[in-house]
Amino acid sequence: MDEQALEQLKQLFSQGRLAEVEAGASEQLKSNPQHPLLHKMLGICLFQRGEFARAQACFETALELEPDDANCLNNLGSCYLFQNQHSKAASYFQQALKQGDNPEWHRNLGTCYFELGLFIRAAQHYHKAIEGGINDDAMLVRQIDTLKSASRFKQAMVVADQIADEAQKLVEQAAIDVAANRPKQARATLAKAQGQFHFSQPQLQRLHDIYRFLGDRDKELDIVNRFANGNPQEQLLAAVMQPQLSDQQLASLEQDPRLNQCQNQVKATFYFILASHYKKRDKTRWLALLKQANQIQAGGHKPEISTELECFKRIRERYGDYAEFTAQQPSRKPVFILGMPRSGTTLIESILGNHPDVFAAGESTLAESLLAELNPQVPRQMHPHQLRLHYLDGELGTSKMQRFSEDYVAGITGYSSDASYITDKMPHNFMHLGWLAHALPDATFIHCQRDPVATCLSIFEQNLSPFHHYGNDLTTLAEYYQAYQSLMAFWEQQLAGRIINISYEQLVQEPEQTLLPVLRRLGLKWHNAMLDLESTERSVTTSSLQQVRKGIYKDALTPYAGLESDLAPLMALKSEQKKTAENIPQNKKGWLRKLFG
C-alpha cells in the first residue's frame, strides 16, 4: 500500500475526521484487502457510527491477519458487548487481558460479568479498572451497584467514600444502607441533605427509590412532583402517581396524548399504576387495565416459558450429583424464607424480624452471587433462569460445597454480627433448595404457601423485572405455578423434615400458633412486639412495601372475589386441600384485621 496514503489516513484519524477515514479506508481496501490496519480503521469508524455488526466483521478480519493484537481483541469484544452478546464479548476481553493489563479492558470485562450475574467477578475487574485510573464518579457508582448485588456492603461503603460529588456520595451511602437493611443509618445519612445539595435528575431517581423503600411517602411524592417539569414521559408518570385521583382525572389521563410519545416500558408502567387506582373502586376495570399493562410489557405476544420449565426439570435431574454431599457447617444462623413471589414471604420476615434475636436481611442476592462462582466458566446462555443455574453446568464436589457454605455464613453475618439468626427471603431460592439444604445442614427453611389464585393474581398486578415475564399472561402464570408446585413436591420428598410449610391464610388468622414450628426450630419464644409491624425499623425493598407499611386490607385474602369467570386459568389451580380466604371465619377480629382493616 502507498505509505503516503496510509499516513494521510492516520493523520485524518488523529484529527477525528472519521467520515473521511471511513471513505479512504474503504477505497484502499479494494486494492489492499490484506492490510490489517485498514480493517481496524474502518472497524473503528463503523463502531463510532453504531454499526456494530459491520465493525465486528472488520475486526474479525484484522484478527485473522494479526491474531495477537490485544487492542483489536478489545474492539471486537466491544462490538459484541454493544450487541448484548456478553458471553462472546467476555471471551475477547479475556484474551486481550492475557496480552497485557489495561483498565479499560478490565472495565469492559467487568460489565460483561455484571450482565451475566457474575457479580463477584465483575467487582474484581471493576476494582482493577479503578486502580488503573478509571475512577470517575460514574465508574465508582457502577462498582457500588455491583458490590451491593454481591452483598458486599462494607466494600461498597469504602468505594462510596471516594466519590467526589458530595450529593452523589450521600445518595450512594443511603442506598447501601437500604440494601443492607439499615434504615436508621439511611435516614441519618439523608438528614444531612436537608437544603444542602442540588440533586441531578439521575440522583433524584435514586432518591425516589430510597424513600419508597423507607416508606417515606411524603418525600417520595415530593420527588415525583419534581419530575412533573421533566420530559413528557416523566410528566405523565408523575401525574398518574398522584394519590386520590378522581374518576374524571383517571379517565383524562388514560386519554392523554403524551401516551403516544411513550416507549412501551413506560406505557406498561403507566397502566400498572393506573390500574392500582381502580383496585378498590372497580375491580373489573382494575383487571382490564392489568391485562393491558401485561400485554404491553410482554410485547403483545404470549410469553414463552419452555426454558423455565426445562430449568425446573434440570434442577431435579442434577440433584443426584450432589445429594450425597453435606458440608461441615454448624451455624444455625441462616433462615431462608422462600416460595413464589407474593406468597407472604415479606409478612413472615417482618414478623420474625421484630424478634430481638432475628435480623431481617430481605431479598439477599448473596446465595446466587456465590452459586455463580462455583462454575468458573462464562455462561453461554443469557436466559435469566439459566443464568441462575449456571453452577449446575459445572462439576460439583464436596470442596465447592464446603467453600460455598463458609462463604455464605460469612456473608450473611455481614448483615448483622450480633443477631442469632438472619433471614434471607429471596423467594426464588426454592430453585436452589437442594444445594442450600446440603451446604447449610443446620439452616432453617420456611416455605410460604398462599391461595394459588391470590398469589398469581398478585404477581399479575406487579410491574416486575424481566425475570418474571412468566407473570405477563394468566395461562403461562398458571403453568409456571404448577411447575413450581411440582419442584417443591420434589424437595419435600428429598429433604424430608427440612422444610417448614407456613400457610399465609393461617398466619393471618393465628400468627403465634402458625409460627410455633418456626420458633421451636429456632429455640425462640414468642414476643407480642413481633406483631407491631407499623413501627418495624426495616426497609422493604420489594413490591410488598405497601402491605407492610399500610396493611394488607380485608380483601387481600381473596383479591379475585367477583372476578372468577375472568381468571379461568388461575381458578383451575385451586384444590380442595388449599385453605382459601373463604374458609377463614369473618366474625373474628384477629390481630392482622385489627391492624390492617
Sheet containing 421-424: order of strands? 358-360, 421-424, 334-338, 444-449, 499-503
What's the average model confidence in pLDDT over 108-136?
98
Exposure class string for 234-254: b at 16+ Cβ within 10 A, else e: bebbbbbbeeebeeeebeebe
Instruction: Specify the pLDDT at position 4.
Output: 87
**What's the pLDDT tens digit per position in 255-292?**
999 999 899 999 999 999 999 999 999 999 999 999 99
Print the SS3 string covering 59-118. HHHHHHHCCCCHHHHHHHHHHHHHCCCHHHHHHHHHHHHHHCCCHHHHHHHHHHHHHCCC
Distance CA 556, CA 581 (A): 9
- Max CA-CA distance within the chain? 94
Residues 311-455+463-583: name the CATH superfamily: P-loop containing nucleotide triphosphate hydrolases (3.40.50.300)
* Cell numbers for 172: 450512594
Backbone angles phi, psi at 122, to 5 degrees: -60, -45
**What's the pLDDT tens digit per position in 31-65?**
999 999 999 999 999 999 999 999 999 999 999 99
| Band (589; pLDDT cuts 50, 70, 90) | very low
| Band (228; pLDDT cuts 50, 70, 90) | confident
Instruction: Specify the pLDDT at position 565.
Output: 94
What's the average model confidence in pLDDT over 244-263?
94
Give Cα separations from 428 to 188, 379, 440, 539 (angstroms): 32, 20, 17, 20
Lowest-pLDDT range of 102-106, 255-259, 547-551: 547-551
What's the average model confidence in pLDDT over 479-504?
97
What's the average model confidence in pLDDT over 134-147?
98
**What's the pLDDT tens digit per position in 503-533?**
999 999 999 999 999 999 999 999 989 998 8
Distance CA 301, CA 515 (A): 42
**What's the pLDDT tens digit per position in 396-450?**
999 999 999 999 999 999 999 999 999 999 999 999 999 999 999 999 999 999 9
**What's the pLDDT tens digit per position in 353-404?**
999 999 999 999 999 999 999 999 999 888 999 999 999 999 999 999 999 9
What is the overall mean pLDDT for the chain? 91
**Closest listed residue to residue 485, CA positions, set 564, 560, 572:** 572
- Cβ neighbour number for residue 98 with a 10 Å cutoff: 11
Give Cα separations from 499 to 396, 448, 487 (angstroms): 23, 10, 13
**What's the pLDDT tens digit per position in 317-357?**
999 999 999 999 999 999 999 999 999 999 999 999 999 99
Specify the residue for cell string 456478553: 86
Whether 584 has a pLDDT exceeding 80, the answer reads no
What's the average model confidence in pLDDT over 70-97?
97
What's the average model confidence in pLDDT over 147-168?
97
Whether 540 has a pLDDT exceeding 90, the answer reads no
The terminus-to-terminus CA distance of the chain in angstroms comes to 83
